[in-house]
Structure 1
């Protein structure tokens, strides 16, 4: 390695000599520690890896709910669900190895079929302006319009507890934001005083 390459390597790795003399024998552990110190100084803190990602399971989701003091239930199909702010949310695992986590919420009200076009416009506008949740409408067998919020994440390589928590909170909070927008657009007539 030439003089210029050694000098550039020392500069990029943070091992450039203060006195002008070359630094010899810097091992990988020292280099890693210096990079961590540089990141801590520049960014404030360095997140240490506390756990390796592990597969997501219904038991981990239920444990997260318990840890966060959320009430939940398991329905007849074995799916986890719960009510948040009066809205029903389910937590599904899809895929060949149950690697896709989906947080799906339902708005607590239904609309008349005559409002389908405006609800579809509202969902399309929401999806065009925001990343989460995916918003869509379904027409039930009884002809009523049902609005759904959905956040899906491929977790093929698993997730740490912190990552899982962030995904679950994202699904719940962004779904609630969509439902709040629907409540504002379509106020409950029974909620107003006569």
Structure 2
């Protein structure tokens, strides 16, 4: 149907970043190094290339993602937020509801989930699904999908999830949170174009 036209910024590159051609026996010796040993190697490499000692700042060292770190990012950027009755952290961005979840056995999976600020009737479900599928085929972020509520109304959802088992620096966390909010807002803007709100236009 061609819902979304124009450039594909942030789309799939089509490159295969897998380990094709590498057998299980051809292991990288770095696989057995500890984090401290790898960090020491990085310092030595940078020192050799730059001709000076390099010290990693605390913010440059990956650490586990926590609700406290997400809260700190929200407060630093002066974003309004709330904690609902279930203890989930969320906020409104450009009139859309976003939540920040941590999943996994070690709460290592960060998910930024957004919800479009309007509902769609069940009769339009096939065309909304087609729009979501087209978005997902052309773009990496966010994952777009719908949920049908018990009352038969359809909610449009955006989602950006990242496995942070190895930790994340402050700069990386900020980038991931911003990615979840900004790309989710871009998707909802596209849905707004498909279904303009008559009440938002002057009579």
Aligned partners of 1:137, 1:161: CA distance in 2, in Å?
A: 31
Question: Post-superposition shift, 1:36?
Answer: 3.0
| Candidates 66, 72, 93, aligned match of 1:84 | 93
Go from structure 1 to structure 2 and tell me whether the alpha carbon gap of 1:141 and 1:158 turns closer, same or farther (over 3 Å shift): same
So what's the TM-score if we normalise by structure 2?
0.74
Matched, 1:188 2:179: no
Aligned partners of 1:132, 1:177: CA distance in 2, in Å?
A: 10
Aligned partners of 2:44, 2:100: CA distance in 1, in Å?
A: 44
Aligned match of 1:149: 158
| Candidates 50, 55, 71, aligned match of 2:57 | 50
Aligned partners of 2:46, 2:183: CA distance in 1, in Å?
A: 38
| Candidates 126, 136, 158, aligned match of 2:167 | 158
Q: Which runs of 5+ in 1 are unaligned?
A: 1-27, 38-46
1:1-194 alignment runs, 5 A limit = 32-36=46-50, 49-51=56-58, 52-194=61-203
Question: Post-superposition shift, 1:190?
Answer: 1.0
Which aligned segments of 4 or more residues in structure 1 are displaced greater than 2 angstroms?
28-34, 47-51
1:184 is paired with a residue whose SS is: helix
Aligned partners of 1:48, 1:133: CA distance in 2, in Å?
A: 35
Question: Post-superposition shift, 1:35?
Answer: 1.3
Aligned match of 2:12: none
> Greater CA radius of gyration, 1 or 2?
1
Contact 2:43/2:55 (CA < 8 Å) preserved in 1? Answer: no
Go from structure 1 to structure 2 and tell me whether the alpha carbon gap of 1:32 and 1:134 turns closer, same or farther (over 3 Å shift): closer
Go from structure 1 to structure 2 and tell me whether the alpha carbon gap of 1:75 and 1:33 turns closer, same or farther (over 3 Å shift): same
2:117 is paired with a residue whose SS is: strand
For each residue in 1:150-192, what CA deviation from the matched residue of structure 2 results, as whole angstroms up to 9, or x when unmatched? 0000000111100100000000000000000001110001112
Aligned partners of 1:66, 1:191: CA distance in 2, in Å?
A: 31
Query: How many positions carry a matched residue from both structures?
Result: 158
